[in-house]
Amino acid sequence: MAKVTILGGSGSVGSVAAKIVASSGVFSDVVIADINLEEAKKVAGEIGGGNVSAVRFDANSAESIKSAVKGSSVVLNCVGPFYRFGPPIMKAVISCGINYVDICDDFDATEKLLDMDEEAKKAGVLALIGMGSSPGLANVLVRYCAESMLDEMESVDIYHAHGGEETEGAAVVKHRIHSMRINIPMFLDGKFTTVRVFEDSGKALEEEAEFQDIGTYNVYAYPHPETITLPRFFKGVKRVTNLGTVLPPGYAELIKGVVKSGITMEEAIEVGGQRVVPLEFAVAFILSQRGKIMQEAGLTGPVGCLKIVVKGYKDGGKNTYIFSTSSKKKGMGEGTGIPAALGAMLMGTGKLKGKGVLPPEGCVNPMDMIELLQTKVKMTGAMAEASFTMEHIDQSGKSKKVDFLKMLKK
């Protein structure tokens, strides 16, 4: 038995992960660490039990991070935005010689984390990065296809749509703004390249995507790390893309409009005698409009869907596999928190092998993760109302859809 510390454990993702990890019995002690101690204590109280505690920590302070994780066997980092907090937090954890898991979905932060590979190896640490939904679950399912379903993988296209959570934090909005302002990595025609959301390169990738249970929506380029990690682990793949949107569509368009307006700078300007950071104003404005937009769209609760389309060859014939996991009652908190918890649990039970910094496809055995999902997570009720299907289109064009988890139980 071991101790796990969940950084950002009172947030929408961290709190879900904390509850699952605590109920699994994998760890003897669970620590909820957050800058807001009262919220951390609230989550710990909701979980209950003498082995769950709360501690305050400041992600801006390396010493505070080290103090919070002291004595842990595993640290699960859910503090965003990762382009700001991911690298310094992981660096502090590695310096303590503690194994690490996070949900980093910023590609630029991912590149900085991967650069710490030698540092982690020297410290005898395994760092599993990007263990959420996309990246995370998506990567593991791609590995499953590569190892179990195909002789040769040709392309991977990842789609995601989610929204409607009761509340949304500033860090989430900042991540979305950041994602629209930067060069976005894609792997096209066997080469790494970049596109930009509002330019022709990005617009060329936009498409209408059908999502199981929740509808059809326009998706656009997302700078998620799968497009830089999957081609490195699966040689021969010619295309890896990541496209998504936030729901309702009007909310996504609001964020796009704010970014296009140019009022997302991080340098303070003077307004009426006051120093104002445009980005902070932009985030506050977006969040102030969110409730009205959701109400107008009739979105009354969280919804989400992750869709992975993998194409390749088996026995010389072209095959396509489409994985979809969706829910009309669960959103980003559950969609990201569940895989994050599984990553921490796999780390805690010694199922993850190796040292250094690795993405999910580099160290997570799909069957180990699926076994945990079936035996541990379902007991929490976190998978209620969720649907997980796999569609296979064979070389003749014949399609067959199955319940993926039920298929694996046979």
β 152-163/239-247 pair status: parallel
| Residues ≥6 apart with Cβ < 8 Å to 196 | 182, 183, 184, 202, 221
Query: Do 149 and 128 belong to one domain?
Result: no
263 with 364, same domain: the answer is no
Per-residue model confidence (pLDDT) at position 394? 94
Strands 303-314 and 317-327, bridge-based pairing: antiparallel
Could you give the count of Cα atoms lying within 13 Å of 200 in the half-sphere of its Cβ?
0
- Record the tokens describing residue 34, joined without a space: 């957050």
Q: Which residues contact 235 (CB under 8 A, 6 or more apart)?
A: none
Domain identity same for 93 and 164: no
- Euclidean distance between CA atoms 352 and 346, whole angstroms: 6
CB contact at 8 A, 223 and 217:
no
Predicted confidence (pLDDT) per residue in 36-89, tens digit: 999 999 999 999 988 999 999 999 999 999 999 999 999 999 998 899 999 999
Structure-token match 């396509």, residue found: 320
Any idea what the CATH number is for the domain that residue 12 is in? 3.40.50.720
Our count of domains for the chain comes to: 2
Considering the domain boundaries, does residue 410 fall inside one? no
Q: Are residues 187 and 287 in the same domain?
A: yes
Decide if 267 is inside a domain: yes
Domain span at residue 75 reads 3-132+332-380
**pLDDT tens for residues 278-289?**
999 999 999 999
169 and 59 assigned to the same domain: no
Q: Three-class SS of residue 196?
A: coil
Is position 98 within any domain? yes
Q: What is the pLDDT of residue 374?
A: 73
Mean pLDDT by 10 residues, the chain (410 residues): 94 93 94 98 94 97 98 97 95 98 95 98 98 96 96 97 89 91 97 97 97 95 96 96 97 97 94 95 97 95 94 96 86 83 96 96 94 67 67 94 70
CATH number of residue 176's parent domain: 3.30.360.10
Domain-embedded: residue 409: no
Same domain, 294 and 346: no
CA distance 108 to 353: 25
At 332 the pLDDT is: 66
CA–CA gap between residue 162 and residue 244 (Å, rounded) = 9
208, 217 Cβ separation under 8 angstroms: yes
Q: Verify that 7 and 154 share a domain, yes or no.
A: no
CA distance 303 to 325: 11
**Residues in CB range of 241: below 8 A, 6 or more apart:** 156, 157, 158, 186, 187, 188, 205, 221, 227
Pairing of the two strands 3-7 and 74-77: parallel
Question: Does residue 153 share a domain with residue 27?
Answer: no
Instruction: State whether 236 and 301 are in the same domain.
Output: yes
Question: Is the residue at 297 inside a domain?
Answer: yes
**201 and 277 within one domain:** yes
Q: How far apart are the first and last CA of the chain?
A: 31
* Residue 327 belongs to some domain of the structure: yes
- pLDDT on residue 377: 63
Are 97 and 167 members of one domain? no
How far apart, in whole angstroms, are the C-alpha atoms of residue 364 and residue 377? 17
| Same domain assignment for residues 182 and 293 | yes
Q: Is residue 47 in a domain?
A: yes
Closest of 69, 60, 48 to residue 87, by C-alpha: 60
Domain membership flag for residue 326:
yes
CA distance 230 to 130: 12
Q: What local confidence, expressed as pLDDT, does residue 379 receive?
A: 47
* pLDDT at residue 131 in the model: 98
Q: What is the predicted pLDDT for the residue at 386?
A: 66
